[in-house]
Amino acid sequence: MSSTGTDQNEITKLLAIVDILFGYVGLTIMLLGTFGNVINVISFARLESLKTLASSLFLLASVIASQGVLSFGLLTRVIGGFSGIDPLYTSVVLCKIRWMVRTASGAVSLTCICLAAIDRYLFSCHEIHRHQLITMKRARWAILISIFFWLSVFSSYAVFYTSPIPLSCTIANPAFGYFASYFNLFHYSILPLSAISTFSLLTWHNLGQQPATYLRGGIRLHDQVTRMLIAQSFGILITSFLNMIWQIYTVSTNSTIKSSLQLAQNNLINTICVLIGFSTQGITFYIYLLASSTFRKNVQEMFLRSRRIASSRNVDLVQITITKSDQRETVRIH
């Protein structure tokens, strides 16, 4: 058998593996992620006290945006994995909508997590005035601005993504394609991962400076939200790091001429990285379960009973931070 025939057989096998991965692994991520995101939204809605925290509002917006990534980004890949033809390749309109909404949703999700990390950092600071810098009103405005900003930015994707040849969905303009590869690396990996890791570490450092922190009167709300966010940040860093490395490799080898076999091999590696990236949008619920006892109790309450968790609005939450054995500072949270 000639080397050309051997390469063609190898390429066919690699393409088949890609379809299997998108079909079965993608479907698993889609189902588990959608289930978790729906439960997240319901859980945040059930806990009335969470409505008083800017961080919880950011996390809720992030969950909704994550579901947008799964619905517009992964679903068509799953269908393509089982049918052999991605629906994007059959409709230019769907191609444009998918890349615009999917990419904007991912950016909004990461932006909201960054904002939540900043809010938790400010609340962990000793300076009391920093605790009120991000109010609920400002949080709502920040989310709306983020949504409109990223939709406007990625409206360009709706313009440049097209179908230059039958059964394709790609950027036909070489200059914009070159720009998009670098911009995606920056906005989807380097910038958000740097911000999330920085503010999570700063929050962790601030908490380490407080030998004892208590939340009296009901649910230990701020402590639990901080735990959930830090755990989610670590999850994002772990699942996104490999994808970031692959993006760097892809950008750095854009001008390199590759054989058909190399392209198929790269496509398989890219598929694995993409699926890991999609898992970032679907594991939030399970991270929250591991990180927060309050969240676990809320989910258990939701499944075992039909009644709502009593509101804690009439409960005064007080944080007492002991900095020295002979000093104590008491701050009313709300």
pLDDT at 28: 96
pLDDT (mean) for 164-183: 85
pLDDT at 322: 42
Q: Regarding predicted confidence, which is higher, 21 or 55?
A: 21
| Out of 51-65, 175-189, 299-313, least confident range | 299-313
51 has pLDDT over 70: no
DSSP conformational letter for 164: S
Q: Which CATH number is 11-209+223-307 given?
A: 1.20.1070.10
% of the chain beyond a pLDDT of 90: 34
Task: For CA atoms 263, 265, 271, 276, give the dihedral sign.
Answer: negative
| Out of 9-13, 93-97, 296-300, 324-328, least confident range | 324-328
How does pLDDT run across 237-287, given as a tens digit for each residue?
888 888 888 888 888 887 788 888 888 889 999 999 999 989 999 999 999
Task: For CA atoms 137, 140, 142, 145, give the dihedral sign.
Answer: negative
Q: Band of the pLDDT at 331, cuts 50, 70, 90?
A: very low
pTM over 0.85: no
pLDDT at 213: 44
Please name the amino acid found at residue 245: I
How does pLDDT run across 301-317, given as a tens digit for each residue?
777 765 444 444 444 44
318 has pLDDT over 50: no
pLDDT at 21: 94
> What is the rounded distance in angstroms from the CA atom of residue 1 to the CA atom of residue 36?
50
Q: Band of the pLDDT at 31, cuts 50, 70, 90?
A: very high
142 has pLDDT over 90: yes
pLDDT at 206: 79
> What is the rounded distance in angstroms from the CA atom of residue 150 to the CA atom of residue 139?
17
| Pairing state between β 318-324 and 327-332 | antiparallel
pLDDT at 209: 62
pLDDT (mean) for 86-112: 91
pLDDT at 272: 93
Residue 48: phi and psi, rounded to 5, are -60, -35
8 Å CB contact between 112 and 195 = no
**Biggest distance spanned by C-alpha atoms of the chain:** 84
pLDDT at 135: 85
Cα dihedral value 60, 216, 203, 54, nearest 10: 30
